[in-house]
Structure 1
Amino acid sequence: MKVEVVPHNPQWKNAFKVESKQIAKAIGENIITIHHIGSTAISTIYAKPIIDFLVEVSDLALVDERNTEMEALGYEAMGEFGIKNRRYFRKHNLLGIRTHHVHIFEVNSPEVKRHLAFRDYLIAYPQVAWEYSALKRKLAQKYPEDIEGYMDGKDRFIKDIEKKAVKWYGDR
């Protein structure tokens, strides 16, 4: 997978809104809310041009019954895909380039808090967001064809910030 990080695109916000409506229809009444997460949700940083959705549902088991509806939107159902109690979907464009990630958790999952805390912390602390953005750009240059190398390079930074962010998020 080619690793590319680009400046923030203001169109990502609208693309999130449009796709959220489609995801909501596909998943149905089980949905509590849909959040825009990941770097495309943070207007001050570079990002891989992949929109991340964090969907909270009442009952995770019911999501599996809606795989066909998600597949009709072009998503590939990946099950838990390495994170317990998650349902993960990914979507590619006609050129085979990944464009969307959908992470689904039950409402009040610690994973929801972790993702929202990280996003909100980076928005609240622009200097930390800038450091993250600079790291991502450096890693994308170092690992232009190695997504694992890129992800591994971000891992320590993300874990350090997540700890601070979750505490900060809980203290608000």
Structure 2
Amino acid sequence: MALPDKTINGVSVKAVLEDFDDDPDGVQRIAERKGKAPEVTIVEPNPEWLEQFQLFNSRITAAFEARDASDEVQQQKESDEASRVTILAINHVGSTSVPGLPAKAVIDIDLVLSENSLSSERFYVPCLEAAGFQFLLREPDWHGHRFFYTDKPMPCNLHVWGPRCPEVERHRIFRNWLLEHCDDRDLYARTKRECADLSKGKGEAVAEYNLRKQGVIREILARAFETLQ
């Protein structure tokens, strides 16, 4: 009899370990970005990044609270469970979430919602737009990923996921590993600088830069994942 798959925070470890390769054909473009995309430039770590995350966190939370207050009576009448979409977590992820790690000056946030289906978008997209985020794309095949962006007061990538999402756990595991292991943190810092220099020299965009460093990210994750086996 096969042993049951281990889980972490309710997510299958097998799903967390599975690599996902970008599929441009799976991207559904919602809108074109307003303004210029951030450049592939690595800067020194900035302690204000944590404060900026907290600002975005507060802004998102306030937008959902305002919706709940204004729509309370209507929501009580609705039978659609999606009308009760709530925030499960707002996580600061990516390099700006690791003190001492150089990064692109862009805050990355994982917003985990109780529901992230096509039908539920009408309940949470207005909240995020009210918080200043532009809805740019969805990737249904990548754990239902939705991508929002703002550049005020600084660039911020907002990734929206549903509950028990493997990618959310991957981001959390990677961040925590770098927080605790200075050797891999230094390795990742060197890789980021090298890949950014190469991408800038070739006039590449962020997507190409991310692809260049993917091998080292997977190498570091492999070491982190050994603790999950």
Which category describes the TM-score, using the shorter chain as reference length?
0.7 to 0.9
Note if contact 2:143-2:165 (Cα within 8 Å) is conserved in structure 1.
Answer: no
Question: How do residues 74-153 of structure 1 correspond to structure 2 at under 5 angstroms?
Answer: 74-81=132-139, 83-93=142-152, 99-144=155-200, 145-147=203-205, 148-153=207-212
Q: Distance in 1 between matches of 2:222 and 2:192?
A: 19
Rg larger for: 2
Q: Distance in 1 between matches of 2:56 and 2:129?
A: 14
The answer to which structure has the higher helix fraction is 1
In terms of mean alpha carbon deviation, does 154-163 or 47-56 score higher?
A: 154-163
Q: What SS does the corresponding residue of 1:9 show, helix, strand or coil?
A: coil
Q: Distance in 1 between matches of 2:196 and 2:152?
A: 21
Q: Structure 1 residue 63: deviation in Å?
A: 4.4
Q: Distance in 2 between matches of 1:167 and 1:55?
A: 27
- Tell me the alpha carbon deviations over residues 102-122 of structure 1, each in whole angstroms, 9 at most, x when there is no partner: 112222211111110011111
Runs (4+) of structure 1 moved beyond 4 Å? none
Give the match for residue 81 of structure 2. Answer: none
Sort the Cα spacing of 1:166 and 1:89 in 2 relative to 1 into closer, same or farther, 3 A: farther
Give the match for residue 7 of structure 1. Answer: 44
Q: Distance in 2 between matches of 1:60 and 1:150?
A: 28
Sort the Cα spacing of 1:104 and 1:42 in 2 relative to 1 into closer, same or farther, 3 A: same
Q: Distance in 2 between matches of 1:167 and 1:85?
A: 27
1:67 to 117, 122, 125: 125
Note if contact 1:27-1:63 (Cα within 8 Å) is conserved in structure 2.
Answer: no
Give the match for residue 62 of structure 2. Answer: 25
Q: Distance in 1 between matches of 2:87 and 2:104?
A: 26
In terms of mean alpha carbon deviation, does 40-49 or 77-86 score higher?
A: 77-86
Q: Distance in 2 between matches of 1:64 and 1:138?
A: 42
Report the TM-score, using the length of structure 1 for normalisation: 0.86
Q: Distance in 2 between matches of 1:88 and 1:143?
A: 23
Note if contact 1:63-1:87 (Cα within 8 Å) is conserved in structure 2.
Answer: no
- Tell me the alpha carbon deviations over residues 10-69 of structure 1, each in whole angstroms, 9 at most, x when there is no partner: 000011011101112334560012111000001121100000111222111334422123
Q: What SS does the corresponding residue of 2:138 show, helix, strand or coil?
A: coil
Q: Distance in 2 between matches of 1:63 and 1:126?
A: 40
Question: How do residues 151-162 of structure 1 correspond to structure 2 at under 5 angstroms?
Answer: 151-162=210-221
Note if contact 2:93-2:172 (Cα within 8 Å) is conserved in structure 1.
Answer: yes
Note if contact 2:143-2:167 (Cα within 8 Å) is conserved in structure 1.
Answer: no
Sort the Cα spacing of 1:27 and 1:85 in 2 relative to 1 into closer, same or farther, 3 A: farther
In terms of mean alpha carbon deviation, does 119-128 or 67-76 score higher?
A: 67-76
Note if contact 1:26-1:66 (Cα within 8 Å) is conserved in structure 2.
Answer: no
**Structure 1 stretches lacking a partner, 5+ long:** none
Report the TM-score, using the length of structure 2 for normalisation: 0.66
Q: Distance in 1 between matches of 2:87 and 2:165?
A: 14
